[in-house]
Structure 1
Amino acid sequence: MNTPHSQSAASVHAALQELRERAEKRKSLVTQSLSEGLPADVQRLVQDLQVHQLELEVQYEELLLAQAELETMRAQYVDLYDFAPVGYFSLDPLGVITQLNLKGSQQLSSVRQRLIGRRFTWFVDPEYRAAFQQFLVRVQASEQRQTLELILRREDGTVFYALLEGLAVAREPEAQPTHCRVVVIDITRQHEAKKALEASEARFRRLFEHSSDAVVLLQDNYYLDCNAAAMHLLAALDREEVVGHHITDFFPERQPDGTPSLQLINTVVKEAMRQGSAKMELLMQRITGEEVWVEAVITLFALQNKAPLLHVAWRDVTAARAARAELLRQKEFSESLLDNSVDGILAFDQELRITAWNRVQEAFSGRSEAQVLGQGVLELFPEYAGGEQEEGMRQVLQGRRMMRQDMPFHSSQGYFESYFVPLASPEGRISGALVHIRDVTERVRLAEEATALKLRQQQEVLAAILTTQEEERKRIAEALHNGVGQLLYAAKLNLENRSGTTQNRAAALSLIDEGIKATRSISHELTPGILEDFGLKIALEELTKRIPKQQLHVHLHLDGLEQPRPRLYDVAAYRIVQELLTNIIKHAQAHEAYLYVVHEDGNLHITAEDDGIGFTQLAADTGKQAKGIGLAGIRNRLDLLGGTIFVDSRPGKGSIITIEIRVK
């Protein structure tokens, strides 16, 4: 882009070049000799004219040079005046605009032709017009530059903040100043920044004064200022008791750990200088001599050509420090309880992450506390995921207490019980759960031994009772056989030898035969001698043979009874079968029954199945519970022997009774 200055320089250069060319041509004329035939006066006149022409041409060249310089100066004036970044105005003594540059017209949002001849006052905000008039008076009365900040209104009504710099000038040298030149600088941004800074300073001052934390300002280790909270913390009644004092005036010479207070403060200040801010806890002394623990936050403010300014906020942490010490003591006590507990203890939070793990649990699991803290329970024990165990833990986190025997939280051998207790905050919110893992292997062993001992005692009692019963029955049987039976037999012989009618004698003999048969039957029922003589298999076969088929058709299946067993089990099995058949005959109203007695794998199995009316119908007829119908004696025997019984009764479709006895 060609500027007026560059265009003017180019035209001057062209004019000079043309002048030189013409001067070169004229030079030859001056040096040419005139014709000798001309008069001397003419020749002299021609030479004078040629010299004069050259002089005129030189003068013309000088004029062109002067014009070029003026054009250059004018271009510079245009650059410096019209295209200046600030507004230039020329005002007469009444403040009328006589001249202005392009920037000035842009500032007032109008063209120069509309602005020239108008009073500058019309563009001044009414609030500042009086100050502007005083500014004009000062400018005309002083040779020094005058300044004024005010608000100018553009022609479109918008406003901006401006800085005016004015100087009085004269139209002619040595004359009195007749008008003034005013520079208008738009300082809207600076003014807004200044206002923002002032607002920031005001906010800082309010925060400083009304902060609940004690705040002090330090420079070169001396207090420059402090707020009311700082005075309260230091027990000062006046700012003068704090401001101007050295930083160490309110701290003991040494901290409780022996570190010099000034050394500790300087260390933290250096850290603040590196990072911009630093924090520490230290012991300080009030003016009254009372000691208090504070948390100090130091913030560094760098100042140009000055020592850094330190903003220090103090917060009284004496109570918090005591609470932390108490919490630490309680934590140590809790950890001591956990570590000295005889049970394994662990805790987990709402996300099932491990939060506690004592030494006993370390021994149980083989995992240290450092390995498991923060880990998920289901990650450490994946076998609990997705099953009843995980559901149980979720229920504990909802407030339920429970005890489980299938969650030992390790793979050690033995028996363990896990007690789950929800952990609730004082507000009642459940934050996690505590688990006690107790090794009950020894207790289970002792219980098993006690159960076995009790069972042996019961078996011994049963054996004694059964032995006594059998002995008593044997004695009664022998008495019946040897006493009643022999007497009846003797009566029979006596009757046979006596005379009498044949009919009477036959009747008597028949009665006596029946008595003998009944006596033998009673004797057999009281003590089955066949059981002792031939064993359980033959005794059971003989027992079923004696049941008339029209009364009950019994199908007997025996297996493995040839194996030797203690006599107690044979007697018990015989009596149980005898009781089952009696119950079927008396109560079941059955026509057919199947009886299975099998001895295999150390167990004696007895099963009786009939096609009778079933227990439910019988219970309804008799008003008794099904479990009490003819089975009391069997259950008593089984309780003493440690056996089990299962009854499957279906109304109208008979019953199935299954008995199992472990032979020892």
Structure 2
Amino acid sequence: MSEFDHKDSKSTTEALMLLRERAERRRHLITRVVDDSTPDAMQRLVQELQTHQIELEMQYEELLMAQAEAETARAEYADLYDFAPIGYLTLDSRGTIQQLNLTAAQLLGSVRQKLLRRRLALFVAESYRLTFSKFLDTMASSEQRQTCELSVVRENGDMLYVQLEGTQVATSEQGVHFRLVLLDVTSRYMATQALALSEARFRQLFEHSADAVVLIRELNIVDCNAAAMQMLGATDKSQMVQQPISILVPEYQPNGSRSEDLIRQHYASLRRNGSHRFEWYRRTFRGESKWLEIVLTYINVGGEQLVHSVWRDITVQRAAREQLRAEKEFSENLLDNSVDGIVALSHEGHITAWNREAEQYSGLSATNVIGRNVFQVFPKLDTPEWRQIFERVLRKGERVVQTAISFIARPGHYDAYIVPLRGENQAEINGMLVVVRDMNERNRLIEETTRLRLSQQQEVLSAILTTEEAERKRIAEALHNGVGQLLYATKLHLERRATPGVPRDEVHSLLNEAIRMTRTISFELTPGILEDFGLKFGLEELVRRIPRQSLPLHLHVVGLEQPLPKLMEVAVYRIVQELLNNIIKHSEAQEAFIHVVREDDKLLISVEDNGQGFEPDPNYAPRHGIGLPGLQNRVRLLGGTLTINSRPSRGTIIGIELPVR
């Protein structure tokens, strides 16, 4: 109860108490004036007067109580009217404000005293004044409640949107007047305008979207745009609108699932998540097959919840994806069935591919290495050399071949071919591919081929040397047995029969020289000393036959106590013989050194002189003669190697390494 109401109740109670005290005093006074000697008529009159007085006093009390109740009701009405959260106005038939509460005054932006006797139309925006005038006319001609919305310009110039609800009230004193309710609906109006704008934008996007858009209610199509019609080959919207979403959908999807079952599953996911994306197979009105990517979303259109479905044709992308998947499967099968270990690395060195052969080589499965850095998987590769190799491949785009790589899980020798991986832009390097090839079988084949070739060479050399030595022996025997014997016979004949006039000593000297030369040629052609005493003695004899005054020779022989194969002894003897002949003929040397050393299964020959030397060419061909090319062929047939170290005026060193079998 307000303070005003409390004061009114207190004053009423006090007035009644005073009234009762006065009535009691008056009644007491009247009773004392009339005594028993008073006539009966007088006493009855006094009693009636007292009764009437009491009735009047009771009526007065009731009037006071009614007045108090009226005051309380008036106070409550004033409080409800003035402080109500909505605006109340009373207008006359011309629309003049006769009465308004505080909220209405606040909505109009002024104080109540300034607004009284002013026309409400002055506060209505010009664009809505005709609406307001029709609103008043409608209220005047109808007893029903009327309503309208319009814009009001406040006294400070601000604009707000209000809703007016009113009805006419007819009184005998003031004639027809109107009672109005004024509601501020600015926020609702703005929201409505924003919603209308949003719906207009949605409609524009819906109609002009490049994607097919379909609105669905309860699994039926309620609207679609031109792109959806074009996608399905519809010529009129009625072909799709009010049709179930299963139109043109085959009974079964390509994966074997029933289309109706999948539709229920997709809509269950939509209800659960509020949005859902999936791929769908369907046909068009032209009988074509299409794959669509469908996105379902709940939207509110005009207060109604619909399903907004966006369709995108992914037929080409899906075909490309299937092709890519097939190519990926082919690549994976190719990788897994490759006889080489194949490893792909990203630009940062992380392993992105690892085939079965790589697992066999390394003993590591793909699940343990994919995504890891190669230097973490193989710490032994974390060296400056390998990092430089990767730098050359990734930065410079070089192709690198690294040989003789070993694996712990698989002993042997392997070669690694490291090539850059380029993207669509060939200038960009995305990573590198490492192909590890098992070279054990290749090396075995090479060794077998080498052995076969050496065996063939040995057979050829054996045949050549056998033929050569047989021919040398035949010539030597012919010289010894034919020419030599003839010379001996001539000498004996001359000794017995001296020819007059011919100097005897000179003839004998010529014959002795011829016999000596014949023996020398016979020895050189077929050194029988090899067969009789071995290679070491034969080389020593070869050195002794060269006069020291013409060329000092120093022979160093080691490890020839064990005999060599016959053909090899002959070949070594001929090689040293040829080298000494070259020194004598071409080097103009003052001294020479010969080393023949056997070490296990190798025979090393080194011939060194301090002669004029020469500039060797790649084919080991000297400036004069054909001795060295023939020597090279002989060494090659024996499966050996020949090296020449010579410079003009600095002498020559020829080294030969032969395998001993």
1:455 CA drift (Å): 0.9
| Segment of structure 1 superposing worse, 159-168 or 175-184 | 175-184
Which whole-Å CA distance do the structure 2 matches of 1:234 and 1:521 have between them?
110
For structure 1, the residue ranges without an aligned partner over 5 or more in a row are 41-51
The aligned residue for residue 44 of structure 1 is none
* TM-superposition CA deviations, 1:220-265 (whole Å, max 9, x none): 4444333334444555544444444455565455667775544443
| Equivalent position of 1:194 in the other structure | 192
Instruction: Return the alpha-carbon distance in structure 2 between the equivalents of residues 420 and 627 of structure 1.
Output: 47
Residues 213 and 309, structure 2, Cα contact 8 Å, conserved in 1: yes
SS at match of 1:598: strand
Task: Give the Cα separation in 2 of the matches to 1:289 and 1:472.
Answer: 95
Cα deviation digits, residues 339-374 of structure 1 (max 9, x gap): 6x5634746364466666666666666666666666
Q: Given residue 643 of structure 1, which amino acid in structure 2 is its aligned partner? A: G
Q: Counterpart in 1 of 2:585?
A: 586
Q: Secondary structure at the match of 2:165?
A: strand
Tell me the residue number matched to 2:78: 77
CA contact (8 A) 2:344 2:354 kept: no
* Alignment match, 1:520: 519
Tell me which residue corresponds to 1:640: 637
| Unpaired stretches in structure 2, ≥5 consecutive residues | 36-52
- Rounded to whole Å, the distance in 2 between the matches of 1:140 and 1:550 is 159
Task: Give secondary structure in 2 for the equivalent of 1:395.
Answer: helix
Q: 2:563: which partner in 1?
A: 564
- Asked if the contact 1:389/1:407 (under 8 Å) is kept, the reply is no
- CA deviation profile, 1:24-59 (whole Å, cap 9, x unmatched): 9x89x969x99xxx999xxxxxxxxxxx9xx99x99
Tell me, in whole angstroms, the C-alpha distance in 1 between the residues paired with 2:628 and 2:452: 26
Relative to structure 1, the CA distance from residue 72 to residue 360 in structure 2 (aligned partners, 3 Å threshold; closer, same or farther) is: same
Number of equivalent positions: 636
Which deviations, in whole Å up to 9, do the C-alpha atoms of 1:140-197 show, x marking residues without a partner?
Answer: 5554443332222333433232223345557xx6434565454443322212211121
User: Using the alignment, how far apart are the partners of 1:477 and 1:326 within structure 2?
Assistant: 82
2:657 — aligned with what? 660
Identity %: 47
Q: Which residue of 1 aligns with 2:207?
A: 209
Correspondence for 1:605: 604
Aligned residue for 2:564, secondary structure, equals coil
- Code of the residue aligned with 1:525 in structure 2: it is E
Alpha carbons of 1:205 and 1:584: their partners in 2 closer, same or farther (altered >3 Å)?
same
C-alpha distance in 1 between matches for 2:322 and 2:456: 61
Say if 2:153 is the partner of 1:157.
no
SS of residue in 2 equivalent to 1:224 = strand
- CA–CA separation in structure 1 for the residues paired with 2:577 and 2:283: 101
Change (3 A) 1:560 1:287: closer
Q: Which amino acid is 1:580 matched to? A: L
Q: CA deviation at 1:639?
A: 0.7
Contact 1:19–1:61 (Cα < 8 Å) also in 2: no
Match of 2:269 in 1: 271
Q: Which residue identity lines up with residue 555 of structure 2 in the other structure?
A: L
Closer/same/farther in 2, CA of residues 17 and 590 from structure 1, 3 Å limit: farther
CA distance in 2 between counterparts of 1:85 and 1:39 reads: 64
Once residues 232 and 507 of structure 2 are traced to their aligned partners in structure 1, the CA distance between those partners, rounded to angstroms, is 132
**CA contact 1:558–1:597 (8 Å) conserved in 2:** yes
Hey, what does 2:541 align to over in structure 1?
542
Matches within 5 A, 1:188-267: 188-232=186-230, 236-248=234-246, 250-251=248-249, 261-267=259-265
**Amino acid in structure 2 at the alignment position of 1:273:** R
Deviations for 1:597-634, whole angstroms, at most 9, x for unmatched residues?
Answer: 21122211122333333323x99xxx975798852232
Q: 1:659 to 1:318 in 2, by over 3 A?
A: closer
After TM superposition, give the deviation of residue 134 of structure 1 in Å. Answer: 3.2
Q: C-alpha separation between the residues in 2 aligned to 1:410 and 1:628? A: 54
Note if contact 2:343-2:358 (Cα within 8 Å) is conserved in structure 1.
no
User: Could you tell me how far 1:420 is from its partner in structure 2?
Assistant: 6.7
Q: RMSD between aligned alpha carbons?
A: 5.2
Distance 1:292 1:177, change over 3 A: farther
Question: 1:410/1:188 Cα in 2 relative to 1: closer, same or farther (>3 Å)?
Answer: farther
Structure 2 CA distance for aligned equivalents of residues 101 and 640 of structure 1 = 129
In structure 2, relative to structure 1, the CA distance for the partners of 1:457 and 1:346 (3 Å cut) is closer
SS for the counterpart of 2:596 is strand
2:634 and 2:259 map into 1 onto residues whose CA distance is 89
Q: Any idea what the Cα deviations from partners look like across 1:40-94, whole Å, max 9, x if unmatched?
A: 9xxxxxxxxxxx9xx99x999997996798489548735x455544444555555
- 2:50 maps to none
Aligned to 1:348: 344
Task: State how far apart, in whole Å, the 1-side matches of 2:485 and 2:251 are.
Answer: 124
For 1:631, what is the secondary structure of its paired residue? helix
CA contact (8 A) 2:135 2:147 kept: yes
Pick which of 120-129 and 237-246 moved more.
Answer: 237-246
CA distance in structure 1 between the partners assigned to 2:486 and 2:252 by the alignment = 122
Amino acid at match of 2:225: N
TM-score (norm 2): 0.76
Kept after mapping to 1: 8 A contact 2:360/2:410: no
My pick for the range that moved more, 590-599 or 515-524, is 515-524
Written as runs of structure 1 = structure 2, the 5 A alignment for 1:364-443 is 387-388=385-386, 391=389, 395=393, 406=404, 411-413=409-411, 441-443=440-442
Q: Any idea what the Cα deviations from partners look like across 1:247-288, whole Å, max 9, x if unmatched?
A: 556545566777554444333323322222345555556567
Distance 1:116 1:553 in 2: 149
- Structure-1-length-normalised TM-score: 0.75
